[in-house]
Amino acid sequence: MLDIGCGYGAFVLEARRRGIDACGIEPAEFEVDFARQRLAAELPEDDPLQVYRLGSGLNLVFAARLFDVVTLWNVLEHLPDYRRLLGEVERVLKPGGRVYVICPNYAAFRKEAHYLVFWPPLLPRPLAKSYLRLLGKNPAFLETSIFYRTNWGVLRALRQNGLAVYDPRIRKILDPSLVTNPGKLYWLSLIKQLRLLWLVRLGLTLTQLNPFKSSVML
For the stretch 9-34, pLDDT in tens is 999 999 999 999 999 999 999 999 99
pTM of the predicted structure, to 2 decimals: 0.89
Statement: residue 119 has pLDDT above 90 = yes
pLDDT at 114: 95
Statement: residue 174 has pLDDT above 80 = no
Q: E strands of the chain, at which residues? A: 2-4, 23-26, 52-54, 67-73, 93-104, 110-111, 118-119, 215-217
Longest dimension (CA), the chain: 58
Among the residue ranges 72-76, 146-150, 203-207, the one predicted with the least confidence is 203-207
Using a pLDDT cut of 90, give the percent of the chain over it.
80
What residues contact residue 111 under an 8 Å CB cut-off, 6+ apart? 117, 118, 119
- Is beta strand 23-26 parallel, antiparallel or unpaired with respect to 2-4? parallel
Q: How far apart are the first and last CA of the chain?
A: 17
pLDDT at 34: 98
Which amino acid is present at 151?
Answer: N
DSSP 4: E
Statement: residue 141 has pLDDT above 80 = yes
In whole angstroms, give the CA distance from residue 156 to residue 86. 11
In whole angstroms, give the CA distance from residue 197 to residue 213. 23
Mean pLDDT of the chain: 94
| pLDDT tens by residue, 52-107 | 999 999 999 999 999 999 999 999 999 999 999 999 999 999 999 999 999 999 99
In whole angstroms, give the CA distance from residue 19 to residue 45. 13
